[in-house]
């Protein structure tokens, strides 16, 4: 199923979010809202539909990585200059993992495994997030202004893991809720 009737309550369905934390929030919001008849239109069922989630994570990762880059540059240059350079360089730095994985690692991996699929998003997503969390773990052990952001990033990761456990426990209820929302009227 890729599309369901456009019900305001169905906008927050867990299957429209990616991270467990946002799926849990989506489940709670949908469970607490009143059933409403559909309005003309269609809602897509895809893990990437939650705009709030994607922008929140993007902004958080951008700000934290800018902090990490500035912290490294601050070893050699004054902090204000380090922050300016980091702000310009970070959007490029963040693109390095998926270019590396997508252009080098995955084609090699496919050649070895003789696979012909082309979708690298899950692998790139994992590699980029792993690199970010590894950087956060390192900065969490250091002194300086990036330490707070690094700890907050790790706390968010732990909360997400806890939410994943809760979503697993709620899986039957979630399935029923999504089935109800997919009904035409």
Partner 1 sequence: MRGVFWRQFLHWAVLNVPLWIEPIVMAWWSLFFLLWGPVRRGVMHNLRTIKPGSLALTNFFRTWRVFWNYAWTITDNARLQETRVTPDWEFIGHEHFADLQARSGGAIMLTAHMGSYDLGAQMFGETTAQKLLMVRAPEVDPQTREFEEDLHGRTVGEAVNINFNTRAHELALDLLHGLRQGQIVAIQGDRVTPGVASANAVLFGKVTQLPTGPFALAMAAGVPIYPIFIIRAGRRRYRLVTCEPIRVDRDRHNRDEILQNAVTRWAVQLERVIADSWFQWFTFEPVFEESRP
Question: Taking a C-beta distance cutoff of 8 angstroms, is the pair 170, 162 a contact?
Answer: no
DSSP H or E run through 105: none
Distance of CA 104 to the CA centre of its chain: 23
Bridge partner residues of 12 (DSSP): none
Exactly one of 1, 37, 76, 119 binds partner 1 (CB under 8 A); that residue is: 119
- Per CB under 8 A, does 6 bind partner 1? yes
Question: Taking a C-beta distance cutoff of 8 angstroms, is the pair 43, 4 a contact?
Answer: yes
* Per-position x/- string for 82-101, each x denoting binding to partner 1 as judged by CB under 8 A, each - no binding: ---------xx-xx--xx-x
Report d(CA 31, CA 26) in Å as an integer: 8
Exactly one of 37, 41, 78, 184 binds partner 1 (CB under 8 A); that residue is: 41
- Per CB under 8 A, does 46 bind partner 1? yes
In the bound state with partner 1, the residue whose beta carbon lies nearer, of 77 and 107, is: 107
How many residues bind partner 1, per CB under 8 A? 39
Tokens for 40, please give them. 């003309």
List contacts with partner 1 (CB under 8 A): 2-3, 6, 18, 39-44, 46-49, 51, 53-55, 57-59, 61-62, 91-92, 94-95, 98-99, 101-102, 118-121, 124-125, 128-129
């Amino acid at each position: 199923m890729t599309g369901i009737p456009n019900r305001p309550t169905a906008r927050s369905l867990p299957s429209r979010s990616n991270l467990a934390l946002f799926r849990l929030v989506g489940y709670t919001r949908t469970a607490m809202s009143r059933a409403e008849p559909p309005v003309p239109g269609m809602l897509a069922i895809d893990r990437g539909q939650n705009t709030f989630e994607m922008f929140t994570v993007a902004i958080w990762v951008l700000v934290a990585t800018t902090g990490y880059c500035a912290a490294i540059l601050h070893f050699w240059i004054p902090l204000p200059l380090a922050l300016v350079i980091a702000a310009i360089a970070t959007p490029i730095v963040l693109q390095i993992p998926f270019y590396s994985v997508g252009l080098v690692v995955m084609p090699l991996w496919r050649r070895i495994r003789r696979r012909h699929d082309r979708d690298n998003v899950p692998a790139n997503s994992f590699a980029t997030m792993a690199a970010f969390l590894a950087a956060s773990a390192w900065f969490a052990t250091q002194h300086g202004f990036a330490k707070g952001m690094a700890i907050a990033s790790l706390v968010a990761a732990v909360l997400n893991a806890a939410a994943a456990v809760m979503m697993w426990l709620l899986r039957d209820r979630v399935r029923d809720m999504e089935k109800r929302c997919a009904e035409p009227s």
